[in-house]
Amino acid sequence: MSRIAAHGIPSRREFLKLALAAGAATSLAGMGSARAAVPSNARIVIAGAGAAGLAMANRLSSMLDGAKITLIDGRKAHYYQPGFTLVGAGLKPASYVESTTGEFVPRNAEWIEEAVAEFDPDANAVVTASGRRVEYDFLVLATGLVLDYESIEGMSADLIGRDGIGSVYAGPQAAAATYAEMSRFADTGGVGLFGRPATEMKCAGAPLKYAFITEDTLTRRGNRSKAELIYAAHGGALFGVPIVSEKVRMLYAERGIETVYRHVMTAIDPARKIATYDTPDGAKELGYDFIHVVPPMRAPQAVRNSPLPWQDGPLAADGWVEANRDTLRHPRYDNVFAIGDIAGVPKGKTAASVKWQVPVAADHLVGTISGTAATSAYNGYTSCPLITRIGRAMLIEFDYNDNLIQSFPGLVAPLEELWVSWVMKETALKPTYYAMVRGLA
C-alpha cells in the first residue's frame, strides 16, 4: 500500500508525479489554442472582465486573426477569489488575492472601463453606463453575479468585521476582517453560526470550509470545549452531491458541529446578536457570538432586466442566463454565449468550471465563424478543494450527474482528507488560475 493510501501523505516520488501531472495538464490545455488562427473581422463583445471574461478574451485573441474583441467592465481590481478562504483563515494577507484587470487584457482587445447598463440582443447591441452603444456580431456574457446582502433584513456588507459578523465573499478586506472576528471568537468561545443561502451560489463548498476552519482554529487554541458550532443547511442536505454531503455530515458529527436543516437566513439583528431563519416550522431565532453570513446571489440587474435569462424553471427567479448546458450557447439568441457564474446551467459556479467552460464556448463561437461544426461539450465539471482542517483538504470534483471525477487517480482520493489536496489548494491552484485567465489553461 502506498503512503498516500496508508497515511494521506504522498511520498516524494508521488508528489513529484502529481506536480508533473498538474504541469502537463496546464501545458497541454494551453497547446489547444496554438492552432492556426482563423481570419475574421467579427465584432465580439465580452460583458465582464473577471476570470471568465478575461480567459475568453485571451483565448479568442489567439484563435482569431483580425477580430475586434471588446471587453466591457468597470472593475479595475482583479481578485483571485479561490484565495478568499485562505485570507479568512488567517493564512494569507489580503494582498495575496489582489491584482489588476489591466494586466490580463490581451493587447489586441479593447477594454471599455465601465459597466454594461443594458443588453439588447434583438438589436445585437449593449449600452454602457455612460450611454455608449456598442454593437456586436457575437456576445459573451461573463458578468459574474451580485452578492445581495441587503436582501437579508438588517444586513449589509458594511457590517462585516464588526459585532461578530464575518463573510469571506465580499472581497479581500472583508475576508481579512472575517478572520479577525473569527479569531476573537476562537479566543473566547460561544456560539458560532454558519450556513448558505437558498439561491444558486459561487463555490458552494466555501460555507462548509469556513465551519471546518473555525472548528480547527478553536481546537488549536485549546478552546473547542468553550464553543458551540451550528451549521444551518438551506435544504435537506449539506452539499448538492449526495456522497459528498454524507461525508461532510459524518465529519461534522465527529467534530461536534451541529447541523440543522431547511434553515434559510432572512434577517439579522447585530445589536442583539440574533439571526432569524425561515424554517418549515416558521421563523426561528438563533443567537450567536460569531456568524459567517453568506448572502443570496443573483444575476446583475442589467442581465435580469434583459430578455437573456431563463423565462421559467428553477434558474429563472434570480436571472441566470439561459444557456445550453453542453455548448453554453443561448438557445434563443444563437450568437450569444454565457460562461462563468452568470451561466444558467445546473453546475459550474467555480473558477475550475471556467477552465473547462471557456474552451467549449470558444470552440463553438469560432466554429460558427469558420463554418466548422464544433463537437466539444461542457460536462458540468466543478471542483472544490474542501478544506477540513488547516493542512488537510478533500479534492472534490464532479459533473452534471454528480459523478465524482478524479484528475489524479491513484494519487488523490476524492473523499479522503489529504495533505496533498491541501497543498493543491494552498499553493498549486493560484498559478494554474492565472494561466487560465491568460488563456493558457
pLDDT in tens, 196-217: 999 999 999 999 999 999 999 9
Phi, psi of 214 (to 5 degrees): -65, -45
CA–CA gap between residue 439 and residue 441 (Å, rounded): 6
Cα 29 → chain centroid: 21
**180-200: per-residue pLDDT in tens?**
999 999 999 999 999 999 999
Closest C-alpha to 232, from 253, 213, 257: 257
pLDDT tens series, the chain, 441 aa: 333 333 344 444 444 444 444 443 443 344 344 578 999 999 999 999 999 999 999 999 999 999 999 999 999 999 999 999 999 999 999 999 999 999 999 999 999 999 999 999 999 999 999 999 999 999 999 999 999 999 999 999 999 999 999 999 999 999 999 999 999 999 999 999 999 999 999 999 999 999 999 999 999 999 999 999 999 999 999 999 999 999 999 999 999 999 999 999 999 999 999 999 999 999 999 999 999 999 999 999 999 999 999 999 999 999 999 999 999 999 999 999 999 999 999 999 999 999 999 999 999 999 999 999 999 999 999 999 999 999 999 999 999 999 999 998 888 988 999 999 999 999 999 999 999 999 987
One-letter amino acid of 56: M
Residue 36's pLDDT is: 87
Whole-prediction pTM? 0.92
Q: Where are the beta strands (DSSP E) in 82-169?
A: 98-100, 109-112, 116-120, 125-128, 133-135, 138-141, 146-147, 165-166
**299-310: per-residue pLDDT in tens?**
999 999 999 999
CA–CA gap between residue 170 and residue 184 (Å, rounded): 20
Neighbours of 326 (CB within 10 A): 15
